[in-house]
Structure 1
Amino acid sequence: MRAAGAVLWRTGPDGGDGIEVAVVHRPRYDDWSLPKGKLDPGETVPAAAAREVAEETGFSCVLGPRLSRCHYQVQTGSGAVADKAVTYFSARARDGVFQPNEEVDTLRWLAPPAARALLDYAGEIEALDELSRLGTDLTTVLLVRHAKAGKREHWRGDDDLRPLTPAGNQQADALRTLLPLFGPDRVHSAPRLRCVQTVQPIADDMDVSVTHEPLLSEEGYWSDPDAGLARLRALAADAGTPVVSSQGKVIPHLVRTLAEHDGVPLDDVPSKKGSVWLLSFRRPAIEPVSTDGIPRLVAASYLPPPAAAATSDTE
């Protein structure tokens, strides 16, 4: 059984550096928790997190880094015991008004220490602690591997012009729904048709152009990996949430190198077509200031291709 939730936060009422987080009371369980709930059939984990926030608090939100994942056992309606996994994201509150409902009768906006003291579950305290560790003033780069475009050996034209297959277009459509949950504000891509096509629908929806990034193509990156890494850090140096579309022979090395250099532990670095890495950076102006003035990776998590877009089409 899979579920998702979020630490929903907003700037404190004094307008300073402090934040408040939302804690909800559920009368059915008489507990205080973070907004969370089970995935609907075919729903992605991020979409479920944003939906549950809206349903339980009345607020829309912009998702940020994945904070934690906890596992525990629950009793089902039939009396059987099932494993449950809940993934928590950081979520910045946007517009909304809380209205009591059947699931939640009270919402409290509290400073993190007060929220921590009120929460009833260790897994949710862990998510809140991770938000406090990371902070909220981050740039999250949405690093996308291009969607399915068939096999290189089956394409007779210029490989730069190899387009998405029908399955790839389905994946691009799924990303068009998934990525806006994280509030992207600009779109970049390796100058390959399949890379650009993967993120073009998102750029169209945002009414922005796709900026080409030659250093993040296979040829450009491997001719000078340090320059490619520096370019990604440069994209993270500004506030906001850039989308960056790249290739399978670039992303694993780039992510692994960033993580090793900046001390972010990663067990594995998968990169399936249509997948996304959430790479969250702390900018130099934010404490602790980096000695060389460049943004530092503080969190990295992998989003597999949306299941609704999975097909048997060739890679």
Structure 2
Amino acid sequence: MLWREGSVAVVHRPRYDDWSLPKGKLDDGETVPAAAVREVLEETGFRAVLGRYLCQVSYRAFGRPKVVDYFSARVESGAFAPNDEVDELRWVPVAEASALVTSDTDRSVLAAFAAEPADLATLLLVRHAKAGKRDNWPGDDDLRPLSSAGWRQAGGLRSMLPLWGPTRVHSAPRVRCVETVQGVAEDLGVGVLLEPRLSEEGYWPDREAGLVRLLEIADGAGTPVVCSQGGVIPDIVATLADLGGVSLSGTPCKKGSAWLLAFRRAEPGWSTSDSHTSWPRLVSAHYFPTALPKPTT
């Protein structure tokens, strides 16, 4: 769902003579978020920065099932020029777009987009990549590094996470956590900010302080990446979902996975406790079990 201030993009596809939202197919060796950004660029000429996950829709086209994942996607740069797939693009308000698009599935995506403000704050919460078995590491567990499989996972994260335009990188002070997101930080030209409250040892003695620290990070400028551990992330996601009224079917947390969290900015009257301090409120949470593309068959 490509958007800019006050309007969304709707495209005309001459092959089908319909008005549609930009979408397309995965290339071999491509993740869903990468395909979303590439297809938007190819169809519209605009480079986009991804935001919250919107929904997944399923339908049949020419007798074959299709499944499409949609993200909010803010225009970063570019300009439209007619091409083989799209001969016209219109920037229209959501209500006008709903009347213009041909399919009901596109209308359902527009409704999901309109359910929350377009410019929500987003945060990428990552579990560190594989680091071998603790029992096989003879030294201080804090210093246990990534395994070869972990470095491959870190490489996938290095490719996928920039699609959301991150500006800051935070990590629990464990070598395996820092190494997981070090490449993202290097590509941004920033350092990794250490977060003791978001390690297992730092989080559990004072859960509320850990939650507050995560919300402080979310409430800052830009989009942060935060790397933590499997003993912390499920509790953070479940607690924030409960506080925000977000329904989740579970809080999985595989090594090298990521949660895309979207927040409304701080609102008076909402807090993590009975205090009057207000914090961002979680409105959307989407899980990526891996940042690596599916193997081709």
Q: CA contact under 8 A between 1:187 and 1:209: conserved in structure 2?
A: yes
> Does the aligned pair in 2 maintain the 1:143–1:278 contact within 8 Å?
yes
Q: CA deviation at 1:289?
A: 6.8
CA shift, 1:304, in A, is: 1.8
- Report the CA distance between 1:309 and its aligned residue: 8.4
Gaps spanning 5+ residues in structure 2: where? none
- Which whole-Å CA distance do the structure 2 matches of 1:152 and 1:82 have between them? 47
**1:106 Cα shift?**
0.4
Query: Does 1:189 find its partner at 2:168?
Result: no
**Counterpart residue number, 2:25:** 38
1:97 and 2:79 matched? yes
Q: Is the 8 A contact 1:170 1:309 kept in 2?
A: no
Q: Does residue 123 of structure 2 align to residue 144 of structure 1? A: no
Consecutive aligned runs of 4 or more in structure 1 exceeding 4 Å deviation: none
CA positional deviation for 1:232: 0.7
Determine the structure 2 residue equivalent to 1:14: none
Question: What is the 5 A alignment of 1:1-315?
Answer: 7-11=1-5, 19-75=6-62, 81-284=63-266, 290=270, 292=276, 293-308=278-293
- Give the Å deviation of 1:268: 1.4
Deviations 1:104-137 (A, max 9, x none): 1100011111111111222222222222221122
Contact 1:44 / 1:306 at 8 angstroms: preserved in 2?
A: yes
Checking the alignment, whether the CA contact within 8 Å between 1:174 and 1:309 is kept in structure 2 is no
**Matched residue count:** 290
Write the distance in 1 (CA, Å) between the matches of 2:286 and 2:293.
Answer: 20
> Hey, what's the Cα distance between the residues in 2 that align with 1:163 and 1:138?
35
CA contact (8 A) 1:138 1:239 kept: no
**1:38 is paired with a residue of what secondary structure?**
coil
Once residues 204 and 198 of structure 1 are traced to their aligned partners in structure 2, the CA distance between those partners, rounded to angstroms, is 12
Give the corresponding residue for 1:3.
none
Alpha-carbon distance in 1 for matches of 2:53, 2:269? 23
TM-score by length of 1: 0.89
3-state DSSP of counterpart to 2:243? helix
Q: Give the Cα separation in 2 of the matches to 1:195 and 1:114.
A: 46
Q: What is the aligned-residue RMSD (CA, Å)?
A: 1.5
| 1:299 aligned partner, one-letter code | S
Identity of aligned residues (%): 59
User: Secondary structure at 1:134's aligned position in 2?
Assistant: coil
| 8 A contact 1:22–1:109 mirrored in 2 | yes
SS of 2:221's partner is coil
8 Å CA contact 2:14, 2:85 repeated in 1: yes
